[in-house]
A and B are shown apart, each in its own frame.
Chain A
Amino acid sequence: MKEFWGRNQAWLTPFLLLLLPAGLFLLVIVSSTVQSIWLSFFDWDGTGPKSWVGWGNYVELFDDPQFWVSLKNNVIWLVLFLLAPVFGLALALFLNQRLPEMRFVKSVFFIPLVLAHVIIGVVFTWFYDPTFGILALAFKALGLQPLAILSDEHLVTFGIIVAALWSQIAFCLVLFLAGLSQIDHELIAAAKMDGASGWRLFRHIVLPQLHSVTFVAAIITVIMSLRNFDMIAVMTQGGPYGSSTVLAYQMYDTTIFSFRAGYGAAIATILFLIMSVYIAWFLWYTLRNEAREQH
C-alpha cells in the first residue's frame, strides 16, 4: 500500500485534490448546462412526461414576437452597457489623485459595486415614481409633466439600464484605477519631454498600457449585460406588456409561470450560445496570456 502510494503519489495527489471541487462543479454546473440543451428539444411542463419535438421549440421561438422583443432589449442592454467602461475610465482618470481624503472618497465611489441589484432596483423604482420620485420633482420644478418611466414601454428598458449602469461603472472604475496605478511613469515622462500632451499623450502612450484592463472590463461588462435579471424582476417583471423583458427574464417567466420548461430551456440555450462567443473570447485571451507567461 505504502509502496503503491509512493509510486503513484505524483498523479494521485492532484486527482484526490480535485475529486470534490471538480466533481461538484461537473455535477451542478457542467451537467446542468448539457441537460438544459437536451431539454430544449422536448415539450415539457416541468413535472409531467416529456415528449420529443426536435427543433420544434426553436421553430416556435422564431415566430414568437416576445422572443424578438427580448432579443432587441438584449442588444440595447449590451450596447448601452458599453458606456460603463467609458465612464469608468473617465471617472478613474478624475479620481487618480493623491489627496489625504482620497482613500475614503474612492471607497464611497465603490459602494454601488457591493450593493445587491435588488436593492438598487428598489431604490430606483422609487426614484422613477411619477408621484413621489425625485425625477418627478425635477420635472415639476422645470414646469413639465412628470414622466412615468417604468410604465412607458419605450422608456422602461432605458430606465432599468441606467440603474444597472450605476454599479457596472463602479466595477469598471475599480479595474481602471488598478490599471492606472501600474502605468510606466518613465514612458510618460519621456513622451512629455518629446512634446506629447493632452489627447495625444492619452491616446498613444496611456491607453495602450491599459489594453489588458480595457479588454477585461469590456468583456465582463458585455457578459454582465446579458446576465441581468434581478433588476428587471424587481423593477418591472418584464412589463409593461412584456416590453422590458430580456432573454434571461423571458426564460424564467416562461418556465415558472407558463409551465413550459422545454420552451424555456430553448430560450436559455439561445442565450447561452450568444454568451458563449464572449466567454470563448475571454477564455482564449486568458489561456493565451497563461501560455505566454510560461515561456
Chain B
Amino acid sequence: MYPTPITDRAPSARWTYRAALYVALLIWILPLIAVMMTAVRSQGDLLSGNYWGWPNEFSLASNYREVFASSPMGMFFVNSLIITGVTVILVLILATLAGVALGKYRFRGRTWLFAMFIAGNFVPYQILMIPVRDLVVHLGLYDSVWALVLFHTAFQTGFATLFLRNFIAALPEELFEAARIEGLSEFQILRTIVIPLVRPALAGVAVLVFTFVWNDYFWALVLVQSDAAKPLTLGLAGLKGEWLTAWNLISAGALFAALPPVALFFFMQKHFVAGLTAGAVRG
C-alpha cells in the first residue's frame, strides 16, 4: 500500500493522523454543515443576524411546510423524477443495444461510430443549444418534460454506450461462440447472455446518468419555461430570486433537491465509483 499504512506507525502518529483527518473533513464539508444549520433556523434568527451561532429555536419542519406551501417545490420534484426516471430507462436500453453492436461485432465504420459517441460526449452544450431548441419546438415538445427527456436521452446515450461497450467487449468471446453453436439467435444471445452479465455495469451507468440528469440546469433553462415542466434545479434557482434573503427556506429547498442523488450515491457508491473510473483505470 502506498503511502505507508498509518497502522504500521507508532500510536501517536495514528492519533495525529486521525485528528488531521477529522479537521480536514470538517473544513471540506463546511458548506454542507452551514446549509443544514440554516435549514433548521427560524426567520427570527436570521432577522436578528444570528447566522452562524446556535439556533434559538428549531424550525426545520415549519421551514419545509412553508417551502411546500409557498412554492411549487412538490411539482418540481415530480418533474425531476419523471425526466430523470424515463431518461435513465431509455438510456439503459439504447446504450445496451449500441454497446453490444460496437463491442461484439466487427463491421466497417465501427471505430468511427465509437469515436463519435466519445467526442459527442464532450462537446460544449452551447454548440447544440439553438438547433436542439428548434428541433424541440418543431416536434411540439417545447416547454414540456418530454423535451428534456429527448435531449438527455440522446446525449447520455453517448456516455453510456462508451462505458457499456468497454464492459461488453471484455466478455469472453467463447461464450458467444458456444451460444451460436447451440443455435441461439443473435437476439436470444443478447437477452439470455449479455444482459444478465452486464447487470453490474448497468447499475453503474444508471447511477451516473441519474446524477447527471438530475443536476442539469442549462437544458432546463433553454427548453422549459413554465412551472409545470421545471425540474428542481431550475425551480430552486428561481426561488432564490423570489425568497431573496430567506436563506432558511433556500437552504431547506437546496437540501431537498440534493437529497436524492446523495442518497443514491451512498447506497450505490461501489457502482458509482466503478463507473466513473472505468475509463481512467485499466486493470
A213–B116 touching, CB < 8 Å? no
How far is B124's CA from A271's CA once the two chains are assembled, in angstroms? 7
| B186 part of interface (Cβ distance < 8 Å) | yes
| B51 part of interface (Cβ distance < 8 Å) | yes
How far is B129's CA from A248's CA once the two chains are assembled, in angstroms? 11
Inside 8 A of B186's CB, which chain A residues have their CB?
Answer: 9, 13
| A144 part of interface (Cβ distance < 8 Å) | no
| A217 part of interface (Cβ distance < 8 Å) | yes
- B150's contact among A28, A261, A280, A282, by CB below 8 Å, is which? A28
How far is B273's CA from A213's CA once the two chains are assembled, in angstroms? 14
- Contact A283-B101, Cβ < 8 Å, known A21-B94, A105-B21: no
Contact residues, A23-51 vs B (CB, 8 A): 24-33, 35-37, 39, 46
Provide the A249-283 mask, 1 if CB < 8 A to any CB of B, else 0: 00110011000010011011101100100111011
A115–B126 touching, CB < 8 Å? no
Who on chain B is nearest to A261 by CB?
B130
B218–A17 touching, CB < 8 Å? no
Inside 8 A of B261's CB, which chain A residues have their CB?
Answer: 114-116
| B29 part of interface (Cβ distance < 8 Å) | yes
Provide the B123-137 mask, 1 if CB < 8 A to any CB of A, else 0: 111111111100100
B130–A46 touching, CB < 8 Å? yes
A111–B280 touching, CB < 8 Å? no
| A137 part of interface (Cβ distance < 8 Å) | yes
- Contact A22-B98, Cβ < 8 Å, known A96-B2, A97-B5, A275-B122: yes
How far is B97's CA from A166's CA once the two chains are assembled, in angstroms? 36
Give min CB distance, B267 to chain A, whole Å. 11
Inside 8 A of A166's CB, which chain B residues have their CB?
Answer: 31
| B69 part of interface (Cβ distance < 8 Å) | no
A36–B119 touching, CB < 8 Å? no
A21–B7 touching, CB < 8 Å? no
How far is B13's CA from A104's CA once the two chains are assembled, in angstroms? 21
- Contact A109-B28, Cβ < 8 Å, known A98-B1, A99-B6: yes
B113–A18 touching, CB < 8 Å? yes
How far is B98's CA from A170's CA once the two chains are assembled, in angstroms? 30
B128–A33 touching, CB < 8 Å? yes
How far is B217's CA from A206's CA once the two chains are assembled, in angstroms? 39
B131–A31 touching, CB < 8 Å? yes
Who on chain A is nearest to B31 by CB?
A123
| A199 part of interface (Cβ distance < 8 Å) | no
A24–B129 touching, CB < 8 Å? no
A188–B2 touching, CB < 8 Å? yes
| B118 part of interface (Cβ distance < 8 Å) | yes
Interface range on chain A (Cβ under 8 Å from partner): 35 or more
- Contact A248-B31, Cβ < 8 Å, known A31-B131, A123-B254: no
Give min CB distance, B90 to chain A, whole Å. 9
Contact residues, B157-203 vs A (CB, 8 A): 157-158, 161, 186-187, 190
With a 10 A CB-CB cut-off, give which of A36, A37, A107, A233 has the most chain B CB atoms: A36
B126–A248 touching, CB < 8 Å? yes
How far is B132's CA from A234's CA once the two chains are assembled, in angstroms? 22
How far is B17's CA from A259's CA once the two chains are assembled, in angstroms? 57
B1–A14 touching, CB < 8 Å? no
- Contact A20-B218, Cβ < 8 Å, known A183-B2, A251-B129: no
How far is B113's CA from A109's CA once the two chains are assembled, in angstroms? 36
With a 10 A CB-CB cut-off, give which of A30, A114, A188 has the most chain B CB atoms: A114
How far is B118's CA from A94's CA once the two chains are assembled, in angstroms? 33
Inside 8 A of B62's CB, which chain A residues have their CB?
Answer: none
Inside 8 A of B114's CB, which chain A residues have their CB?
Answer: 287
Inside 8 A of B161's CB, which chain A residues have their CB?
Answer: 21
B2–A116 touching, CB < 8 Å? no
B107–A14 touching, CB < 8 Å? yes
Give min CB distance, B171 to chain A, whole Å. 14
Give min CB distance, A15 to chain B, whole Å. 8
- A111's contact among B5, B233, B262, B273, by CB below 8 Å, is which? B262
B130–A265 touching, CB < 8 Å? yes
A175–B277 touching, CB < 8 Å? yes
How far is B212's CA from A117's CA once the two chains are assembled, in angstroms? 11
- Contact A33-B31, Cβ < 8 Å, known A17-B97, A107-B269, A111-B262: no
B31–A127 touching, CB < 8 Å? yes
Inside 8 A of A206's CB, which chain B residues have their CB?
Answer: 2
A283–B118 touching, CB < 8 Å? yes
- B2's contact among A10, A185, A251, A264, by CB below 8 Å, is which? A185
How far is B107's CA from A9's CA once the two chains are assembled, in angstroms? 12
- Give the top 4 A-B pairs by smallest Cβ distance, nearest first: A28-B154, A116-B215, A32-B131, A216-B280
List 11 additional contacts besides A99-B7, A180-B2; criterion CB under 8 Å. Answer: A18-B102, A32-B132, A46-B130, A94-B24, A110-B269, A114-B215, A119-B257, A174-B276, A268-B124, A272-B124, A280-B119
Q: Give 28 pairs: A residue, B residue, CB < 8 Å, sorted on A.
A: A22-B98, A22-B113, A28-B135, A28-B155, A29-B155, A29-B158, A32-B132, A33-B127, A36-B128, A95-B21, A99-B18, A99-B21, A114-B215, A114-B272, A116-B233, A118-B234, A122-B237, A137-B51, A174-B277, A185-B2, A212-B281, A248-B124, A248-B125, A251-B129, A271-B126, A272-B123, A272-B124, A278-B122
